[in-house]
Each structure stands twice: as structure tokens, then as C-alpha cells.
A and B are shown apart, each in its own frame.
Chain A
Amino acid sequence: MSAFADQLLVLVMLINLVMLGTSRLVFSIRAVAVQGVILGILPGLINPFSGHLAGITAGIILAKGIVIPYLIGNAVHKAQIRREVEPFIGYVSTLLLGAVFTALSFAFAEKLPLAPEHKDLLFVPASIATLLTGFLILTTRRKAISQVIGYLVMENGIFVFGLLLTEAMPVMVEAGALLDLLVGIFVMGIVINHISREFSSIDTSRLRALKEE
């Protein structure tokens, strides 16, 4: 089974690159959703079945795969924007950077010893790569939506790592984390709406009133 898990993790990393490459917001939202679903499936592949596990799977898929994409999609719809125009750093270069970061994350994973049962899994590099991808999106994109997406990708990356410890993690904590994430995204959605209303655009590069001269 774990082989399949690895393939899924590779898929996750590919999705990262895709997201770095695309400019269409709706598309990247869908991509995040897919990532979320994959995250939902993964624990079932590496852990024996349990009620706890089922709960987690359901929760993750529900939250990351359905609710959150819906919330953001809503925001996009309200803000009536299609694509991310001229990011701070171009797509090709971000793509390259993404590739570099993925490589780096493998190096990082090498440095840190894994538990024997995780030795041959790609969890660590995948999670780090995803994290860095999220960071890349956060720092290079202009649109508020894209930044939310970046944040989500980061979260996904963290979850990927979290999957190593699913049974270690008490339900309460995971549920709480998910819930917080949900509420966070929800609030961000609202804020984005307000932004688009205030500035008639969600181009965050315009949010520069607050600074020191």
C-alpha cells in the first residue's frame, strides 16, 4: 500500500508545481481541493483502519476538499476576477524556484532521521516541498486570493507531515486545527470581500497605506 501512498505524495508535489505555473485562480483553487482530498485519503493507506482514522479522513476531505474551496470560490466569484495578472516574480521563474525548493526539501529530509516504518516514504520531502510552494505563492502573488491559496498550500504541507502522526494526534486537536483553519479561511474570505469593496480590487499590492515614511 505504501507504494501507492508514495505515488500520491509525488502527485501532491506535482500539483504544487502546477499551482506555481498556472495563473487561473479557479484552476488553482481546484488544485488545492484535489490536494486536500489526497491528504484525506493518505492516512488510510499508511495506517490500519480505525474509527479515529475514518473520522480524520472524512473531516479532512470535507474541510479541505469541499468547504474551503467553496468558500474561496465564493470570494473569487464575488470579487469577479479570473486570473492572477503580473505576479511579482514571473511564472517560469517561480516554477524553477519551486523545482529547486523541491530538491532542497529532499536534501532536508535526508538530514533528519525517520522512524524505521517511515524510512521509505516521501512524506517529509513532500510536506516540506508543499510548505515551500505555499511560501513561494505567498511571496510572489499579488492577488489576495492567491495569497490565501498559498496559505492553504502551506497548511496542506503541514498536514502531510501530520499524517505521520495521525494516531498520535488526539482527535480534539486535529478537529480543533481543522476548525480553526475553516474559520480562518472563512474570515479571510469576508476580509477579501471587504477589500474588493474598499479598493474595487483585491490586488494586495495596493494595500500599502500603512507604512513608515
Chain B
Amino acid sequence: MLFALVLLPLIGALFAWVVPDNRLRPLTLPVVATIHLVLTALLVGNAPPPSPGGWIWLDPLGKVVLLCISLLFAVCAFYAVGYLAYRQKRSNRILCMGLLVCLSAMGLVTITQHLGLLWVALETTTVSMAPLIYFNQNARSIEATWKYLLICSVGIALALLGLLFLAYSTYVAHRDATLLLGPLMASARELNAGWFHAAAIFLLVGYGSKMGLAPLHTWKPDAYGEAPGLVGALLAGGLVNCAFLSILRVYQICLASGTEIHFFQQTLVGMGLVSMAFAAVFMAHQSDFKRMLAYSSVEHVGILAIGLGLGKGGLYGALFHLLNNGLTKGVLFLSSGNIHRSYSNKTTDVVKGALTRLPWSGGLFLAGFIAITGSPPFSPFISEYTIVSSAFIEGRHLVGWLFLLFLVIVFIGMALTVLPMVMGAPPTDTEPTDYEDRLLTVGPPFFMMAVILVLGIWPPGFLVTLLKDGAVMLGAQP
């Protein structure tokens, strides 16, 4: 059943490959996505026991990420049908296949307990996303693709070296080298400190650059800025979370080792704050709203890192924020995609009065902005406040103050970009394109927004317990 998560999308990809018609092909996405979502629901409901080798097991952490990915992908899939209807000139074969392959790889990331396999899957997501960023096939997008590909590959290569170090540290500790999570955690205390430490650093940097922690984030604004909206959504909500999950795995081992964890936490907090600072600086005067979203993603990756680094109460917040950030970014990217379509421009000096021209997309974008900046009653508020309050409760006042300071700067920068976009009167000199809000382009993000609202007011019980279990796995008090 777990393997279905991996195989189903692959089959879908094959199918998408053979379907000749450019109009029908996108339909494979929602079909696969729906089945995938159902599967996810069943698996999250009652996960099968670990596989004999212990390679495959859907633990709570995996469940959270899987849930986020599956939901996000489903929404994007339905959106894609509506979106691609406007992009008929271009063949969407690669796009559909890439999306599905990526989905399968992401699925594998969530279910595997073997770090090597995890690495392979992550690398696969990287590679499979590259063509999608290049969907628009112009000079800018090719540049973005190139930078994304090279930086992520290098980063992930470093992660591989980290893994090898990790394995070797077991080897040095006179145990048979393994990359299985269970045994590693079991033997974490005997691991050779030097190798283990090096491994932790390499893994953090490697996965960090995939996740987009500053200053390893340099590919993000380019890729997010040039990719189509839904690809951006999956990058920000899917890949980021996969990378974060990989870091969580490392975190687990560090936790088990007992000594390494302190260094790891400190580094996480430090890099998190740096990321937020970068985001704050780069969001001010940001005229390209897709790049702005990219930097916002950097910021929230930082928040995740800080939450993880704070430990204790922050863990719950980090896990919850993983979900919230993914979904909210989805809303933002999809609606921004619509706005981009309608104005055929993504700079604020042209895009004005979106609320008037596209009431739904504009409204969703505004709502998403309010949500992502941590305003109730939307769920990101819950997670962000959990994190920041835990910072103060743990007596990490400096972290808390800096966190809030950056939040404020980010909010100001973002508001000064978003509000003029959505408010005001639409430009008269530029003709609107043929794009208009339809059910398929607006419904999916709207649905996601509703989910965010519900999560912010009354998250369902199973989710809460799930997050709690996850937090406990990361060392929170049960």
C-alpha cells in the first residue's frame, strides 16, 4: 500500500506521456492526485507497520509531510487543468510528467527510513523539477533553471558526502555501516564524534541549500520567480518540506546522540535568524511579486529552522508551520499565477487594482498575504505564535525579539508590495489578457484558504495528535 504512493504517480506519468492530446493530458493530474489523496488519508488513518528491513515506514513526521504534499498537490492538480487551458500553445507533456514523477519522489521521501534512499528520492525531486521551471522557455527561465539545477545539485552532493561520513562514523565505531534511521539512532551514542559532527554539518548545508536557508537560498528567487505559479507552489510547499523532513531525520539522530544536538540546534537557530534577516532585507521595495513570495519562503524556512532549533514547545510549532506554510504559499502562488496571467506582468508598477480586475484572485492573494504574515484567524498565526512564545518561555529573549523585529520588517516590506497591487484602480493603459477567474483557477486556492482558516480556528483532532506525536519524536515532552 505504501509503495502505491510511489508507483501510482509513476504510472500516471507514463500515462501522461502516451496521451497525445494537449487538452486531455492535464486531466491525468487530478485523477492521480485524487487517488493519491485518498491513499494518503487511509495511510495517515492507520499506517502499516515498518517493512521487514525497516526501510519503509510512515512515521508521524512522514505523515505530516505526506499530508501537506498530497493536499497541496491535489489542489495544484485541479488548478493545473484550469491553468493549462490558457497555455494551449505550449506542450504540457513534460510538465505533467515532471509533476507526477516529482510527486512519486516526494512520496518516497516521506515513507522511507533509509537515509540513502531518502537522498536518492530528494535528488530525483530536484532533477524532475528542473524542466518545469523551464516551462516558459525564455531567457530568464533558462537562467533560473540553470542556477537552480547547479546550486541544488552541488548542495545535495554535499549532503551525500555527509551521509557517507555518517555511515563511516558507524564504521569507525566498529559497527556495520548503515544508513537506516533506526539502527543509527540506536547506536547514536557510540558514533565517532568527529565524523558525526562533520556529517551533521555537511547534511545541514546540503539539505539546507535545497530547503533554501540563507545564505544557501540564492537559487530561490530566480526559480520561484520564473516558474509557473503552480510549480512555484509545489517548490515552496512540497520540495521545501521534503528537504525539511530530511533535516528532521538528521535532527533525530543528533537528538539520539545527545551531544551533537546542542550544536545542531544552535546552528539551526542561527541560520534561521539569518534567513529571516535576508528575507526582511530583500522584501523591502520588492517590485516583482513572485520574487517577493520566494523571499517570503526563505523567511518561513527560517521560521521552521528556528522552531526546530528552539526545541520543546517550538517543535510543535515548527511541524504545524510546515503544514501551514506549505498550504498558504500554495494559495499565494496560485493566485499570483492568475494575476500574472491577467496582467501578463509580475511587477507592481504595472499590476495595480487586482481586487477590481480579479475580485477572487486578488482577494485570495490579499487573504494569503494576511495569513502568511501571521495574522489570526489563519493557521500560520498559531504556529508562528507557538514558536515565538516558546522562544520567550525558554528565556531566549534575544531570539524572540529578533524574530518579531524581522517579522515586522517583512510585514512592512510585503505590505508595501501587496497592498498597492490589490488595491487601487487597475491600469487603463494596458489591456487585460483573455484570462478571467474561473472555477478551476480560483476554486482550488479558495478551498486551500478555507482549510487554512479551519486549521487556524479549530484544527481537527487527528491532526493535533499527529503533530504532537511528531513533536514527541523530536524530543518534546509528551
Which of B119, B142, B145 has the largest number of chain A CB atoms within 10 A? Answer: B142
Asked if A164 CB lies within 8 Å of chain B CBs, one says yes
Closest to B286 in A: A212
**A184→B153 contact, CB < 8 A:** yes
Query: Is the CB–CB distance between A210 and B143 below 8 Å?
Result: yes
Q: Is there contact, CB below 8 Å, between A168 and B176?
A: yes
Interface string of A177-206 (1 = CB under 8 A from B): 100100110011001001100110000100
Q: Do the beta carbons of B168 and A164 come within 8 Å of each other? A: yes
Complex interface: stretch among B17-25, B82-90, B124-132, B395-403: B124-132
Tell me if A161 and B179 are in contact (CB < 8 A). no
* Least Cβ–Cβ distance between B157 and chain A, in angstroms: 5
B195 touches A187 (CB 8 A): no
Contact B178 A147 (CB under 8 A): no
What separation, in Å, do the CA atoms of A198 and B150 have in the docked complex? 18
Q: Which of A158, A161, A176, A191 contacts B146 (CB 8 A)?
A: A191
Asked if A154 and B144 sit within 8 Å, CB to CB, the answer is no
Asked if A37 lies at the interface with its beta carbon under 8 angstroms from chain B, I say no
For the complex, what is the distance from the CA of A52 to the CA of B225, rounded to whole Å?
45
Closest CB in chain A relative to B347 CB, distance in Å = 12
B294 CB, min distance to chain A CBs, angstroms: 11
Pick the contact of B222: A127, A164, A177, A210 (CB < 8 A). A210
Expressed in whole angstroms, the Cα–Cα distance for A111 and B194 within the complex equals: 8
CB closest chain-A residue, reference B170: A168
Residues of A within 8 A of B164 (CB): 158, 161-162, 164-165
Task: Give the most central of A111, A184, A199: most B CB within 10 Å.
Answer: A184
**Size class of the A contact interface (CB-based, 8 Å):** 35 or more
**Chain B residues whose C-beta falls within 8 Å of the C-beta of A176 in the assembled complex:** 116-117, 120, 124
| Residues on the B chain within 8 Å of A144, using CB | 146
Per-residue CB contact flags for chain B residues 159-195 toward chain A (1 = under 8 Å, else 0) read 0110011011001101011110000000000001011
Interface assignment of A92: CB less than 8 Å from any CB of chain B: no
Instruction: Please report which residues of chain B, range 94-139, place their CB below 8 angstroms from some CB of chain A when the two chains form the complex.
Output: 114, 116-117, 119-120, 123-124, 126-127, 130-131, 134, 137-139
Q: Are B114 and A173 in contact (CB under 8 A)?
A: yes
Q: Judge whether B123 and A180 touch: CB under 8 Å.
A: yes
Interface residues on B, range: 35 or more
Q: Is the CB of B131 within 8 A of A187?
A: yes
**Which residues between 437 and 467 of chain B lie within 8 Å of chain A, taking CB atoms?**
none
Q: Are B179 and A173 in contact (CB under 8 A)?
A: yes
A173-B120 contact given A154-B154, A198-B142, CB 8 Å threshold: yes
Nearest B residue to A178, CB-CB: B120
Instruction: Tell me if B435 is interfacial: C-beta within 8 Å of chain A.
Output: no
A113 beta carbon closer than 8 Å to chain B: yes
The answer, yes or no, to whether B149 is at the interface (CB within 8 Å) is: yes
For residue A207, CB closer than 8 A to chain B, the reply is yes
Q: Known contacts A165-B177, A173-B114, A191-B146: does B161 contact A115 (CB below 8 Å)?
A: no
> B282 at interface (Cβ–Cβ under 8 A)?
yes
Answer yes or no: B59 CB below 8 A from chain A CBs.
no
Question: B142 near A194 (CB under 8 angstroms)?
Answer: yes
A113 and B161 in contact, given A154-B154, A168-B177 (Cβ under 8 angstroms): no
Flag whether B309 is at the interface (Cβ < 8 A): no
List 18 A–B pairs whose Cβ atoms lie within 8 Å, in order of A's numbering: A161-B165, A161-B168, A165-B167, A165-B177, A169-B167, A170-B114, A173-B119, A176-B116, A180-B120, A188-B149, A188-B153, A191-B146, A198-B138, A207-B143, A207-B146, A209-B143, A210-B143, A210-B222
Give residues in A with beta carbon < 8 Å to B: 111-115, 127, 131, 138, 144, 147, 151, 154-155, 157-158, 161-162, 164-165, 168-170, 172-173, 176-177, 180, 183-184, 187-188, 191, 194-195, 198-199, 204, 207, 209-210, 212
Closest 7 CB pairs of A and B: A168-B177, A176-B120, A173-B116, A180-B123, A210-B222, A207-B143, A158-B161
